[in-house]
Amino acid sequence: MMLIYHNPRCSKSRAACALIAEKGLAVEVVEYLNTPPSREELQGLLAMLGMKPLELVRKGEDVFKEHYAGRSLSDEQWLDALLAHPILIERPIIVRGAKAVLARPTEKLLDFLEC
């Protein structure tokens, strides 16, 4: 069973869901704006992705531009920002077992599914 952190308003996220459905794979969908990950979940996702919190931040969002642009924050502070403003979490994130991928571009998901 796979898990996808999904935003239905995001075209990349919808494309990832469609690709998974096309492959006939079972997936649990987490609309993370409605059900944000906990600090522990987010830390686990970052570990599986091999990323630092700043690498997962959507820098085009208004909340980023208004509150965080140009600021130098620690990993813990960026983690706090992601938890306070889940819209800043880049998507879609797909988890399968102990592995995860940020499926941007969608082709990364194809590689992930072949593993």
Query: Could you give the residue numbers annotated as active site?
Result: 10
- CA 58 to chain CA mean position, Å: 10
Instruction: Say if CB 57 and CB 81 are below 8 A apart.
Output: yes
Helix orientation angle between 107-114 and 11-22, rounded to the nearest 10 degrees: 30
